[in-house]
Structure formats: C-alpha cells, structure tokens
Amino acid sequence: MKYNFDEIIDRTGTNAMNTDGFRQYIFNATEDMTFPFKDEEFIRMWIADMEFATPPEILDAVKERLDRRIMGYSQVFDPAYYEAVSNWMKRYYDWSFPKEHLETSNGIIPALYELVEYICQSDEKVLIVTPSYGFFKSAAEHNDLELVCSDMINEQGRYSIDFEDFEAKAKDEKVRVCIFCNPHNPSGRVWTTEELQRVGEICLRNNVWIISDEIHCDLLRTGKRHTPLAKLFPDTDRIITCMSPSKTFNMAGLMFSNVIIPNEALRDIWQARHYGFKNPLSIAATQAAYETGDEWLKQLKEYLDANFACVEQYVKQHLPLAVFHIPEATYLAWIDISAYAPQNVSLPLFFAEQAGVLLEDGHMFVANGEGCIRLNLACPRSVLQEGLRRISSVLVKEVEEVPVQV
C-alpha cells in the first residue's frame, strides 16, 4: 500500500493543540491575542505532532474496538499487548526485557513527573543536558526539585555532551536522577554507543538513576539504528526506559506510553501510586501500531528524508549563513539563524506576526539554544516549502534592510 503524505488534512474543530493551543503554549496569551493572519492562514511548524493521517491500520483497530460497543474501565490484560511490544523491540532494537518490567502510562510527560517524584527525596536534584525538551525542566519544577543543566557542546551545529561538565554535576551527591533524551530533542542526535556508555557509567557510578526518554527512537533517518540505553547495561536496574508509538505514528492524543521499570521496589511504588486504568481505544491503537506499523513507518521515513533534503537545499540556497545539519533522528529541524535573526525580539512572535509561521525557538528549550529555531517537518512537502519561503522572506528582507555602513 502507498500512503499519501502529501494530503492536506483539515484539523480545525478537532480540539488540536496544533491549531488552537498555540497562543497559550507559545505566547502565554489568551484566545483574544490577534495576528495579521487568520488562524487557518498560519503555517504550523511548532508542536511535535504530525500533519499526516494516523496509519489506517491503527485507525481500523480503534474502530474494531469501538464495534465492541462497551467502553468500560480497562487495563492491559491481554498478553498479545506485551507480545506486540516485545516483538517490535526485538525487530528494531534487538533488545528484550521481562514482561513484569512493563508498565504503561497516560503519556511520557506524566511518567516523567511520577518517576521523578518516586525516585527523589525533597532536597535532591534532577540532571539534564541542554538544550532540552522543556518538560524535562517541568518534571523537576512539578516536584519542587532543583534542576541541574549541563550545556552540550555546539560545534557549528553539531551537538555533543560535555562529559567533563556532565560528570562534575553528576558527582553532586544531591543529584539523584538524570532525565536523558535518547535520541535527543531538539538536536536530533542519535547517541553513539560510546556516548551512551559514558552517560550510563557516569550516572551509575555516582548513584544517579537514569530515566531514558526514547520517544523519538523510531523516527530515524533511513539506515540509522536506535540503541536503548538500558540495552548496554543489562546488569543494572537503575535505568527506566520510556517509549511510545505516539510520536512515531501520530497518535499523541491517545495518551499512551510504555514505561519499563526493572527495579522491583520502584515498580511496587509505581503500581501502588500510579492511576492504573487506561483508555481501551489507546490500548488497541498502541498494540496495532507495534503489530502493523512497519510499512507505514518505512514510507514515512522516506518522506521525511526527502523533507530534510528539501530544507538542507533551501537553507544552503536562501540562508547560506544559517547553520543546519540534517538530524539523525526526529522530524524536527534545529536551525541556527543567528546571522539573520532580528536582535532582542521573541523569534516565535516575530515569525508569527511577520511571516505567518508558528515555530519554537531556543528559549523554549531550557537553555543553550540562543539564536536557534525548531521547525516541525512532519507535514506535506507543499506546506514545508511555503513555510520555508515565508521564513526566508522575512529574514533576508530583514538583512537587506540593515543600512550599509558608510
């Protein structure tokens, strides 16, 4: 079957954050915030969900469950669920874990909040690398815990971990957990085995638990392979792995993720305190994703590869002073536009008002993202091309208007 990623799908009237939540999320504003563009005129490149239809096989599984006509309290009881997850992990990551380690959550963000609460004492700290997905900071703040940031090294747009700094911070005896993004949002790094080994060794020898957030692990450039962090440390039970098909198959609204907890004491706390009932439609969808998603994912990756090639060519031609490298993972383009960006303005507000493009910038990724914007490329190529045109039209115009020094 050939899936149509060029199709433009109307999302208005669907309670989508993407179309209706940007004023509050990006601008911390109310619904009466106005722009020179109608909402439907925006090119939306901000929140990380896709403009592609969720795979038909997954939607069919949801419809099949609906046809059972009773939507009662539910949990994962069917062993076929674990089989589906386990088979996917074996096929894609050559990794397996015991069934009793598998818990589920109503999304990874809630799991991060809960795991940090269950692991940390009230005077302990949470370590992350920056730039970072903003909710890693929220997971510390939600629990009134101090956040410790280790800025990544940025060498002309190529990010790496500053292991000297990372280890110095992990040695702080109050640092109790590291929330680690593998692959990394927003840089798109797929960590090498050596990098993963160093992160794990530094944390484990300093008594720092690791929550490895691997939500982007299937969204790789064709040919790349994901390594779960826990796979490299089979003898420890201090690495919790969070995964979900929600990002891979555009079903984040179904709020369902897998949390693999090898530590029995922590699992007991989770089982005692986590709200265990789940949406039966989400269970059906997630199981179907892992059972039937292979071909759709293959075609999605090919389409995204082409979208990234489009961005690379466009930036080289129209924004040659910008710094962009095709990321190894995610569908997010992280572009340093410092050479063009107007100074001392909110870039999201600048692009929304001037270009009619909704995007996120480095200030939304905790720290160490100055001058960068992040573009969601999981959209039809025609939409991407219009977004790129609009972005460069205000930046190049911005550069042209700078008065020539005489």
Ligand X SMILES: Cc1ncc(COP(=O)(O)O)c(C/N=C2\CONC2=O)c1O
191 vs 184: CA distance, rounded Å: 8
How is 31-89 classified by DSSP, letter by letter?
Answer: TT---SS-GGG-EE--SS--SSPPPHHHHHHHHHHHTT----------HHHHHHHHHHH
Residue sitting closest to ligand X (CB) = 107
Single out the segment in contact with ligand X by CB under 6 A; choices: 70-78, 102-110, 268-276, 390-398.
102-110
Out of 54, 95, 104, 107, the residue judged to bind ligand X by CB under 6 A: 107
**Cβ proximity of 333 and 375 under 8 Å:** yes
Token look-up 């074996």 returns 90
350 touches ligand X by CB under 6 A:
no
- Cβ-based nearer residue to ligand X, 210 or 340: 210
- Letters for 238-277 (x = contact with ligand X by CB under 6 A, - = none) are ------x-x-----x----x--------------------
Report how far residue 360's alpha carbon sits from residue 31's, in angstroms, rounded to the nearest whole number.
19
Whether the Cβ atoms of residue 100 and residue 83 lie closer than 8 Å to each other: no
CB of 185 to ligand X, least distance (A): 4
Quote the DSSP letter at residue 405.
P
H/E element, 135: helix 134-142
For the segment 46-65, give every residue that binds ligand X (CB under 6 A): 47-48
For the CB of residue 47, give the shortest distance to ligand X in the complex, in Å.
4
Q: How many residues bind ligand X (CB under 6 A)?
A: 14
CB of 1 to ligand X, least distance (A): 27
For 357, the 3-state DSSP assignment is: strand
Query: DSSP state, 229?
Result: G
Does 133 bind ligand X (CB under 6 A)? Our answer is yes
Residue closer to ligand X by CB (options 134, 342) is: 134
Residue selected from 185, 282, 286, 307 as contacting ligand X according to rule CB under 6 A: 185
Structure tokens at 308: 């990234």
Of 133 and 303, CB closest to ligand X: 133
Candidates 106-114, 261-269, 304-312, 318-326: pick the segment binding ligand X (CB under 6 A). Answer: 106-114
- Which amino acid, one-letter code, is at 80? A
The yes or no reply on residue 108 touching ligand X (CB under 6 A) is yes
Q: What is the DSSP letter of 101?
A: G
Beta bridge partners of 374: 334, 360
Token output for 281:
């439609």
Q: Among residues 127 and 392, whose Cβ is nearest to ligand X?
A: 127
Of the ranges 103-111, 231-239, 299-307, 397-405, which one interacts with ligand X (CB under 6 A)? 103-111
Q: Please, what is the minimum distance in Å from the beta carbon of residue 189 to ligand X?
A: 12
Regarding 213 and contact with ligand X (CB under 6 A), the answer is yes
Beta strand 372-376 with 125-130 is unpaired
Out of 61, 85, 161, 215, which residue is the one contacting ligand X (CB under 6 A)? Answer: 215
Q: Should residue 181 be labelled a site residue for ligand X when binding is judged by CB under 6 A?
A: yes
Q: With respect to ligand X, which residue has the nearer C-beta, 335 or 340?
A: 335
- Binding span for ligand X by CB under 6 A among 107-115, 118-126, 148-156, 377-385: 107-115
CB 190 within 8 A of CB 226: yes
12: left (phi over 0), alpha (psi -120 to 50) or beta: beta
Choose between 340 and 347: whose C-beta lies nearer to ligand X.
347
Q: Nearer Cβ to ligand X, position 58 or 181?
A: 181
Query: Can you tell me the distance from the alpha carbon of 185 to that of 182, in angstroms, rounded to the nearest whole number?
Result: 8
AA identity, residue 307: N
Backbone angles phi, psi at 228, to 5 degrees: -60, 135
Interacting residue ranges for ligand X, rule: CB under 6 A = 47-48, 107-109, 133, 181, 185, 213, 215, 244, 246, 252, 257
